[in-house]
Amino acid sequence: MRVFVALVTGLLFGMGLTVSRMVDPAKVLSFLDFGSIPTGTWDPSLAFVMGGALAVTAPAYYFDRLQGKPLIGHILIIPTRDDIDWRLASGSVIFGAGWGLAGICPGPAITALSFGMHEFYVFAAAMLMGMALYQYILMPLTGGAPRGAQGTV
């Protein structure tokens, strides 16, 4: 049952990334291109993706906090940390730099594999290597405590 719910929600998520065109690196880069604002050619569409998503997700998290446990499955695993540390700050800057370089973030990197374009295979392979590199080498070297399967948001 948990696996079925995950499959359906993954499908909805992938459909959302497709419909919104988050899967199109050219569109992502033109959204991030604030230098185009003075010329009137800036494409702000993708701000509506986050707006639409937050409008639905925020009430769900509020509901979850009231309820305290998931409908099925075992326990609610929602990150609760609120401290700011160097990992959060430097990781976000590094992630953003990569995102601005290619216009691809992790969700679209996976969904776009369906388009059968070599560029996406290359990007996804490098991204997964980067993740493995951090988890198996960089994190132990820098004394990071092993995280839960979901990471710490």
Partner 1 sequence: MENFTPWSALAGGILIGLAAAIYVIVLGRVTGISGILGGILQPSRTEVGVQIAFVAGLIAGPFAVALISGPVALPKVTGSYPVLIAAGLLVGIGARLGGGCTSGHGICGNARLSPRSILATVLFMGAGIAMVFVTRRLLGM
Report the alpha-carbon distance of residue 42 to residue 91 in Å, rounded. Answer: 27
State the nearest-atom distance from the C-beta of 48 to partner 1, in Å.
4
Report the alpha-carbon distance of residue 135 to residue 98 in Å, rounded. Answer: 18
Is 4 or 143 the residue whose CB approaches partner 1 more closely?
Answer: 4
Report the alpha-carbon distance of residue 111 to residue 139 in Å, rounded. Answer: 27
State the nearest-atom distance from the C-beta of 105 to partner 1, in Å.
4
State the nearest-atom distance from the C-beta of 37 to partner 1, in Å.
11
Q: Which residue has the tokens 């290597």?
A: 129
State whether residue 106 is helix, strand or coil: helix
State the nearest-atom distance from the C-beta of 54 to partner 1, in Å.
6
Is 97 or 143 the residue whose CB approaches partner 1 more closely?
Answer: 97
Could you tell me the CA-to-CA distances from 67 to 5, 38, 54, 76, 79 in Å, in that order? 19, 47, 20, 10, 16
